[in-house]
Amino acid sequence: MSEASRQLDARGLRCPMPLLKLKQALHAMAPGEDIRVLTSDPGSVRDFQAFLRQAGHQLLEQSEGEAEFSFLVRKKPEA
């Protein structure tokens, strides 16, 4: 697992809260900065992939553990 400069623990939150928390965190981050997000909501997989593709951020890693999902996201560089 790669390191990230930020962590977001969204475990226990139901859709759409993990995605909203990620959007808030990305807004506060510098371009090119990485964040690791942990969720327990299986819907996060679909939600995060669609949002990141649409918004232009990069999904660097995605893994699934026991009742937990991990995402490593890089905020898109400035245009």
As annotated, the active-site residues are: 15
Helix (H), strand (E) at residue 18: helix 17-27
CB 36 within 8 A of CB 26: no
| CA 56 – CA 66 distance, rounded (Å) | 29
Query: Is 55 exposed, middle or buried (CB count within 10 Å of its CB: 0-12, 13-18, 19+)?
Result: exposed
